[in-house]
Amino acid sequence: MLLEQPLRPLPSPRQALADFGALYAVNGLVAFIFAASGPVAIILAVGTRGGLAESDLSSWIFGAFFLNGLISIAFCWLYRQPLVFFWTIPGAVLVGPALGHLAFPEVIGAFLATGLLMLVLGLAGWVRRAMQALPMPIVMAMVAGVFLRFGLDLVHAIRDDFWIAAPMTAVFLGLSAAPALARRLPPLIGALVAGAILVALLGRFEAAGASAGLAQPNLYLPVFSWQAMVELVVPLAITVLVVQNGQGVAVLNAAGHAPPVNAIAAACGAGSLVSGLVGAVSTCLTGPVNAIISASGEKHRHYTAGIFVGLLALAFGVAAPFFTRLLLSTPPAFIAALAGLAMLRVLQTAFTVSFRERFTLGATVTFIVTVADVAILNIGAPFWGLVIGLALSWLLERADHRNAKA
């Protein structure tokens, strides 16, 4: 079989509890708070800018957490590795511009088509070949171009709401400058806490209508349009398989694990097919969360921290309406600052990979076309950035392509 087989024998509930401990609980909690802070702010920023209703956002968050939490628990248990799945952040950002000219059901149709494509690639065992076919600098240049607007929104938030965004940024930078302190309090979580305190002290929290209702996810009827297929499917699949899963696999390899690449891709495809029906962007293997839970402790016990993150994700997903309303009750600058700060390191990595050595011309063109955000034939700029950048790279950077193959 092309899918990697689970480890036998499977751990019993008693064995999993014996492998669990305080260190793995703390690592799992910190990793989950990271996933539930900045990344959720990105969903809200993208969705509100794209005109989605609060019920759409709540349903999206339910799918992103609850359904992916189930996959995470299953994979951590089956493979005894920290295999936590959430959603593709670059993919969520790609959806933002598309919502300006596509209906949400068309975007959901693209989610489902992407899921089917990834499922086929995973079952056929073609994932590694597909990941190697595209030069990473050009892919990351597209990511950098899409993410740039979040960095700009951070600057605008500081300008427009100084007493909310500026202290959050100062706390983030201060913690980042003190590695010993940052290990105890991650900078993004520190910024979140500082911002929440300031919102409360300044009386900027608008809690009217907030409730603790349980999730009632929407079930959407997808619309399959060629415009959405062309614009979103290939970039979404690339961001999941190459950018997100590539990062997650690299993190786990560095920690001494052997992640099942084909099974992961198949799970991302199946998860995307299900979560897409409730409005959530494509499933992926998360890099930062798996990095946190595999950074310390005994390797053979890391999987328990992943199961714990999955359980927390189930609870968060069930309470999605409450958390959605809670965050939407804060000033726009709070969400913009939190999302921008969450993107800083990712944006730095994207620029570093894009313009470090090879394929720099193709990466530059890809970045410029993506940032220009000009739709051609009603198809969004990220797709054309990849197409034009790859074409020019094949034409003018042949030596880089030869060296990459060698």
Contact 356, 137 (CB under 8 A): yes
* pLDDT one-digit tens code per residue, 60-88: 999 999 999 999 999 999 999 999 999 98
Taking alpha carbons only, the member of 133, 87, 110, 100 closest to residue 288 is: 87
43 three-class SS:
helix
Task: Write out residues in the chain with pLDDT < 50, as ranges.
Answer: none
* pLDDT one-digit tens code per residue, 93-128: 889 888 988 999 999 999 999 999 999 998 988 877
pLDDT above 70: percentage of residues in the chain: 97
pLDDT given for residue 208 in this prediction: 54
Give the CA dihedral 27, 30, 34, 40, nearest 10 degrees: 110
86 three-class SS:
strand
